[in-house]
Homo-oligomer: A and B are copies of this chain.
Amino acid sequence: MDNKHIFTEKLRSSGLRPTKQRIEICKLLFNRKDTFHFSISDLKNISTKKISLATIYNTIHAFTRKGYLKEISINSDKTYFDTNTSDHHHFFDENKKKLIDLDDNNVGKIKIKKTLPGKKIKSVEILVRITNDN
């Protein structure tokens, strides 16, 4: 069971043609229990089928625009993406250079007391940098 028809429908209903490359990427990303943090090169590496780099970029960006992926900011040369698009935060393990989810309900309420005229808050993201405890 690889959910091919489900992905096909999902793609179609978002106005994206269900090509074999997109379905393959869907399988890699969404046929897993846990949320997946990855960079483009990670994705390239785990893919057995040959999909061009440009297609991987295009697809991941399309999925991000559709809200199926979330882009994550850390100071690193690579951009990371997350299959968990819910409101949540991250630990960044500086030793392992790995992201770990931090659920919104594992963080106390955040109050932003400063406001800026003519601006509205789009999102509030927390990054907790962690290191080995020694």
Known: A103-B114, A112-B106. A131 touches B126 (CB 8 A): no
CB-based contact B124/A128 at 8 Å: yes
Q: Which of B108, B125, B129 meets A126, CB within 8 Å? A: B125
Give the segment of A26-34, A52-60, A71-79 that binds chain B: A71-79
A120: Cβ under 8 A from any B Cβ: yes
A window 78-129: CB within 8 A of B? 79, 91, 93-94, 100, 102-103, 106-114, 116, 118-129
Instruction: Give how many copies assemble into the complex.
Output: 2
CB distance from A86 to the nearest CB of B (A): 15
Q: How far is the CA of A63 from the CA of B93 in the complex (A)?
A: 23
Quick one: closest B residue to A80, CB to CB?
B75
Known: A102-B112, A107-B113. A73 touches B120 (CB 8 A): no
Task: Pull 9 A–B residue pairs with CB atoms less than 8 Å apart, ordered by A.
Answer: A71-B75, A75-B79, A100-B116, A106-B113, A118-B133, A118-B134, A122-B131, A123-B129, A125-B128
